[in-house]
């Protein structure tokens, strides 16, 4: 395996070795599958509702499809294809995920995918040409392999359902509390460009406007724009929820939840310092099991409502959010904050033996065989 190429401006590296790039994508596709099973475990113990689990799994599936598309784009990395097309850039010092720039380039490619597919031979034609080159000319058809990989890349983009840098809010009807009050689950996600991490948001809101929120041509675009503008990893949930509550008088945020997916640790690919890196080094796990993924779940809940005057005769509802001063609530801006780590059995055994300081309150999800997930507190 050749050394990755370090970019001087930051902590990003390009995976320029063919097999290192392919192993990286296989690792992430496996991790995303485990995350979906973690969501199932959380639903089973009632820490996620069925609707929340479905929405979370949907965003995780989009991440999986995104990694799959990128794996096609960089399938021939490190091979002589007759043209330079770069290599996957990852953040190997902090997140372990692809750099946000990769998703921005992918979004631009997606806008042109249909045109590229019209101009390229189809996959079957490329495979026939490859076979003819192998049998007739007794040579490796690297350029045709590259053309096929790009064809498959654009096909993945054209299917949609991918995780973009910005995934705008959608609304799910939860029910009608009374004739004048409807309940929705809003969900959206971003790929944080500062952290190079995917972040998923879920908000339960009550709507007292006569027009249903998703059908409101004025409010719904404003809500979407507002939430996307506030989707910054450095903002506390309390700041986001209070701003939303004050800007939309007929919408009442009852619960806001945020999932930070990552960082990903791997002794083979990342250079983070700290106990997890030491654990992975000592575990010496086989390829595919040399990883650990952090996961942070923040929840902010409204505990009561106060009424304030609006104009001469009107009133507005304002949410009072539950912040526990004894559990770090004022610092985190959340009612509850849970940190977890997902990792295979062998690294977990080493982690349990070493028992590093600060890891006792972190929840552990352990991936066994065949893909079974166990939970330890």
Rounded to 10 degrees, what is the CA torsion of 177, 180, 184, 188? -160
How much is the average pLDDT of 350-371?
A: 90
Average confidence score pLDDT of the chain: 90
Q: Residue 1: which pLDDT band, with cuts at 50, 70 and 90?
A: very low
What φ, ψ does residue 147 adopt, rounded to 5°?
-60, -40
Which residue is it, tokens 């705008």? Answer: 168
What φ, ψ does residue 236 adopt, rounded to 5°?
-75, 150
Q: Which of 62, 58, 48 is nearest to 255 (CA)?
A: 48
Length of the chain as a residue count: 377
pLDDT of 6: 46
Tokens representing 363 are 């929840």
Tokens representing 233 are 């990893």
Tokens representing 1 are 């395996």
Q: Which of 162, 159, 209 is nearest to 184 (CA)?
A: 209
Q: Is the pLDDT score of 99 beyond 50?
A: yes
How much is the average pLDDT of 187-195?
A: 95
Q: Residue 4: which pLDDT band, with cuts at 50, 70 and 90?
A: very low
Q: For residue 225, is the peptide bond before it cis, meaning its omega torsion is within 30 degrees of 0?
A: no
How much is the average pLDDT of 157-178?
A: 95
pLDDT digits (tens, 9 = 90+) for 305-342: 888 877 677 778 899 999 877 666 677 899 999 999 99
R_g (Cα) of the chain, nearest Å: 24
What is the three-state SS of 206-261? EECCCCCHHHCCCHHHHHHHHHHHCCCCCCCHHHHHHHHHHHCCCEEEEEEEEEEE
Q: How many CA atoms lie within 13 A of 198 on its CB side?
A: 25
Strands 181-192, 166-178: pairing kind? antiparallel
pLDDT of 155: 97
59 near 167, Cβ under 8 Å? yes
- Backbone angle region of 338, left / alpha / beta, with phi > 0 → left and psi within -120 to 50 → alpha: beta
pLDDT digits (tens, 9 = 90+) for 57-73: 999 999 999 999 999 99
pTM metric for this prediction: 0.92
Q: Strand 88-91's sheet: what is its strand order?
A: 5-6, 12-15, 88-91
Q: For residue 263, is the peptide bond before it cis, meaning its omega torsion is within 30 degrees of 0?
A: yes
Q: Residue 288: which pLDDT band, with cuts at 50, 70 and 90?
A: confident
pLDDT digits (tens, 9 = 90+) for 209-241: 999 999 999 999 999 999 999 998 789 999 999
């Amino acid at each position: 395996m050749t050394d990755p190429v370090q970019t001087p401006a930051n902590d990003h590296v390009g995976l320029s070795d063919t097999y290192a790039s392919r192993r990286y994508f296989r690792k992430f596709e496996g991790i995303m599958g485990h995350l979906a099973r973690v969501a199932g475990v959380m639903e089973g113990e009632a820490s996620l509702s069925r609707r929340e689990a479905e929405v979370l799994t949907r965003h995780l599936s989009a991440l999986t499809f995104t990694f799959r598309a990128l794996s096609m784009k960089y399938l021939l990395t490190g091979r002589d294809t007759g043209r330079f097309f770069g290599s996957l850039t990852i953040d190997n010092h902090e997140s372990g995920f692809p750099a946000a720039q990769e998703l921005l380039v992918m979004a631009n490619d997606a806008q042109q995918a249909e045109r590229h597919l019209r101009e390229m031979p189809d996959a079957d034609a490329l495979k026939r040409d490859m076979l003819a080159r192998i049998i007739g000319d007794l040579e490796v058809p690297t350029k045709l392999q590259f053309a096929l990989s790009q064809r498959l890349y654009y096909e993945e983009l054209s299917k949609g359902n991918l995780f973009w840098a910005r995934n705008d809010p959608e609304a799910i009807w939860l029910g009608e509390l009374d004739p004048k009050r409807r309940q929705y689950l809003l969900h959206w996600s971003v790929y944080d460009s500062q952290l190079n991490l995917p972040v998923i948001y879920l908000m339960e809101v009550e709507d007292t406007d006569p027009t249903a929120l998703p059908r409101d041509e004025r409010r719904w675009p404003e809500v979407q724009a507002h939430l996307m503008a506030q989707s910054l990893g450095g903002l506390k949930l309390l700041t986001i929820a209070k701003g939303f509550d004050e800007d939309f008088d007929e919408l009442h945020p009852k619960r806001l939840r945020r999932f930070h997916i990552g960082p990903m640790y791997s002794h083979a690919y990342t250079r983070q310092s700290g106990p997890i890196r030491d654990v992975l080094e000592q575990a010496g796990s086989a390829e595919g099991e040399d990883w650990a993924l952090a996961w942070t779940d923040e929840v902010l809940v409204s505990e009561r409502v106060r009424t304030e005057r609006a104009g001469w005769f009107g009133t507005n509802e304002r949410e009072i959010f539950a912040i526990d001063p004894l559990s770090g609530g004022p610092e985190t801006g959340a009612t509850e904050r849970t940190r977890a780590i997902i990792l295979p059995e062998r690294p977990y055994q080493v982690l349990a033996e070493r028992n590093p300081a600060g890891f006792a309150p972190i929840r552990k999800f352990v991936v066994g065989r065949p893909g079974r997930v166990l939970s330890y507190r």
